[in-house]
Amino acid sequence: MKINEIFKSIQGEGVFIGLPTLFIRTAGCDLRCVWCDTPYALLDSQGTEWSMDEITAEAERNGTANVCLTGGDPLRQMDDTIELIRRLTGKGYSVVVETSGAYDIGRLPRNGSVFVSMDVKTPGSGMSGRNLMSNLEYLSTGDQLKFILADREDYVYAKNFLKEHSIPCEVIFTPVGGKDLGWLAESVLSEGVRARVLPQLHKFIWGDERGR
């Protein structure tokens, strides 16, 4: 499996924010979001080949109960991701799978230890045409749907999206850069939007330092 990096940190995003987590970052993504904060993981060539045994051994060495598969996009390597999820959950890990929403999540193993964190790409990303709408039917109550918002236009897009679709899981609104929360919090409060406004906590602690 093409891996860009593996590191231990706290979860900086979404409903599991603050939890000590082992991040397994895969290499390769077909999307090119304008605001992408991990351009060093977009290409296959930016990763090295790891065996399943090597990855699971690294997870055991790091000693956290929580694993986050991120990227790039791990679903670009679907078969390997499925196998890795099965191995990790078989060893008792809780696994969050972060994905852009452009790949079919219907194939993922689903049990009480696997959670999907799926993006809906907004116009400000330049990739809103890549949203695979059929993925919405596979989301369950333990998952989360994330909107990364660059500006008011993105916010309106996200608000209308929620009006048009029945979402069974938690909805996360996060500003691009993860820090400028004021305008977004005020908008959600004044307009009664059913979403959590959350930062990217790791950026408050470590900035843009890689591996954090």
Instruction: Encode pLDDT of 114-170 as tens digits.
Output: 999 999 999 999 999 999 999 999 999 999 999 999 999 999 999 999 999 999 999
- Model confidence over 172-191: pLDDT tens digits? 999 999 999 999 999 999 99
**Residue 42's pLDDT is what?**
97
Residue with tokens 């906590």: 201
Question: Has residue 43 got a pLDDT over 90?
Answer: yes
Largest CA distance in the chain: 50
Domain assignment of residue 23, given as a range:
2-206
- Give me the mean pLDDT over the 77-105 stretch: 97
Quick check: is 166 in a domain?
Answer: yes
Nearest to 30 by CA among 72, 92, 90, 81: 72
Question: Has residue 69 got a pLDDT over 90?
Answer: yes
Question: 184 is written with which tokens?
Answer: 């977004």
Quick check: is 212 in a domain?
Answer: no
Question: 73 is written with which tokens?
Answer: 């996009």
Listing from the earlier edge strand, what are the strands of the sheet with 48-49?
Answer: 48-49, 2-10, 20-26, 66-70, 94-99, 114-119, 144-149, 170-175, 196-197
Quick check: is 7 in a domain?
Answer: yes
Question: Has residue 30 got a pLDDT over 90?
Answer: yes
Question: Has residue 96 got a pLDDT over 90?
Answer: yes
HEC readout, 30-77: CCCCCCCCCHHHCCHHHCEECCHHHHHHHHHHHCCCEEEEECCCHHHH
Q: Nearest 5 degrees, angle CA 14-CA 4-CA 10?
A: 30
Question: Has residue 80 got a pLDDT over 90?
Answer: yes
Cα pseudo-dihedral 154, 155, 160, 163, rounded to 10: 140
- Model confidence over 9-28: pLDDT tens digits? 999 999 999 999 999 999 99
Quick check: is 15 in a domain?
Answer: yes
User: How high does pLDDT run on average in the chain?
Assistant: 97
Cα pseudo-dihedral 8, 28, 73, 182, rounded to 10: 70
Q: What percent of the chain has pLDDT over 90?
A: 97
- Model confidence over 97-119: pLDDT tens digits? 999 999 999 999 998 999 999 99
Counted domains in the chain? 1
**Residue 63's pLDDT is what?**
85
Quick check: is 211 in a domain?
Answer: no
CATH of the domain at 154: 3.20.20.70
Quick check: is 168 in a domain?
Answer: yes
Question: 9 is written with which tokens?
Answer: 């940190």
- Give me the mean pLDDT over the 36-49 stretch: 97
Quick check: is 78 in a domain?
Answer: yes
